Amino acid sequence: MARTSSLCPAIAFLLLVLVATSPAASRATKASPPRLLDLTYTYNVDAPTMPSLRAFNMTTIVKGVQDEGYWLEMNEFCSAEHSGTHVDAPVHFSRTSWPVNAIPLDRLWRLPGVVIDVQDQVSTSKDKNYAIPVSDLEAWESRHGAIPDGAVVFLRTGWGAKSRDLDEYSGVDQHGTLNFPGLSKEAGTWLATYGARKGLSKGVVGVGIDTSSVDVGSSTNYEAHSIMYSHNVYGIENVANMDQLPITNFLVTVMPMKIGGGSGGPSRVIAELLDESPSSASRDL
């Protein structure tokens, strides 16, 4: 018995070495870091903002070497809640829905994402205010399958390519009317009620778009906002780098400022591209 027990440590060590040097262990130690894509515009004076809203402004309070020899830099900033890349809290258009600080974390953190690509429809439409119809959403579902439960749906209109020229991006005309694509009322309803129709626990939790509004620019009654937000589906507007997103197979984290009672707030939005993601350049043709 004494001899057997003396061999146990040696055998255990040998097994440990074999496990540690196995191909599976080697792959685990060499696992690639996650591929992350920032979907956020930098907050500065060039951040896309509705012409009627206060644009981002930052003022330097102190910047330089202090008398005691250390460097100190501090600023203060002022901005509308809905400037740059931001989250529209459901309360923005629905009195009894969540303010931004009340959106549950499980509707913000590492959610399945999908992209519904309508660039071709927008580019061939004679109307700058292309109102995405239900048929575009149903066509996507027919090709790619059901939207995952708890997903954020991104609408890729191609409008983000205009973001360097804020007048062109807003589509403002001589009458002060904005012109850019967005959701129709019917498509907003389709997304808002997706979970109930499919028997899902959450359904679609958020809708992102590469324009300044989930409604078309010329809207005066914001029907898509109203119907989605009444179902506590939040919006993400002015999404950056959407052209680099795959159609499916990515996770998204949405991190709005936790403003108490806020109708929205500036937000960092990050996509995690999964290994099996198809080319980000692919279109939903």
Predicted pLDDT of residue 227: 99
Contact 136, 127 (CB under 8 A): no
Q: Whole-prediction pTM value?
A: 0.87
For the cut 90, the answer to whether the pLDDT of residue 21 exceeds it is no
Confidence of residue 216 (pLDDT cuts 50, 70, 90): very high
Residue 98's domain comprises 35-50+80-273
* Mean pLDDT confidence for 58-76: 98
Contact 178, 129 (CB under 8 A): no
- Give a yes or no: residue 24 inside a domain: no
Predicted pLDDT of residue 284: 43
For the cut 70, the answer to whether the pLDDT of residue 28 exceeds it is no
Predicted pLDDT of residue 282: 44
Computed over every residue of the chain, the mean pLDDT equals 91
Domain with 229 in it: what CATH number? Answer: 3.50.30.50
Q: What are phi and psi of 250, to 5 degrees?
A: -150, 160
- Give a yes or no: residue 44 inside a domain: yes
For the cut 60, the answer to whether the pLDDT of residue 205 exceeds it is yes
For the cut 70, the answer to whether the pLDDT of residue 12 exceeds it is no
HSE-CB at 242 with a 13 A cutoff on CA atoms is: 30
* Mean pLDDT confidence for 186-208: 99
For the cut 90, the answer to whether the pLDDT of residue 25 exceeds it is no
Predicted pLDDT of residue 285: 37
- Give a yes or no: residue 282 inside a domain: no
**CA distances (Å), 237 to each of 6, 22, 40, 187, in order?**
67, 47, 10, 17
Q: What percentage of the chain's residues is helix, strand, coil (to nearest 5)?
A: 30, 25, 45
Tell me which H or E stretch contains 123.
Answer: helix 119-124
- Give a yes or no: residue 20 inside a domain: no
Confidence of residue 84 (pLDDT cuts 50, 70, 90): very high
Query: For the chain, how many structural domains are there in total?
Result: 1
CA–chain centroid gap for 34, Å, is 17
- Give a yes or no: residue 22 inside a domain: no
- Give a yes or no: residue 243 inside a domain: yes
Contact 171, 180 (CB under 8 A): yes
Indicate the burial class of 208 (C-beta count within 10 angstroms; 0-12, 13-18, 19 or more): buried
Indicate the burial class of 5 (C-beta count within 10 angstroms; 0-12, 13-18, 19 or more): exposed
- Give a yes or no: residue 216 inside a domain: yes
Cβ count near 86 (within 10 Å): 30
Q: Specify the residue for token string 């795959």.
A: 246
What percentage of the chain has pLDDT greater than the value 70?
86
Q: One-letter amino acid identity for 207?
A: V
Confidence of residue 185 (pLDDT cuts 50, 70, 90): very high
* Mean pLDDT confidence for 206-234: 99
Torsion over CA: 251, 255, 256, 260 (sign):
positive
Q: What are phi and psi of 62, to 5 degrees?
A: -155, 145
For the cut 80, the answer to whether the pLDDT of residue 198 exceeds it is yes
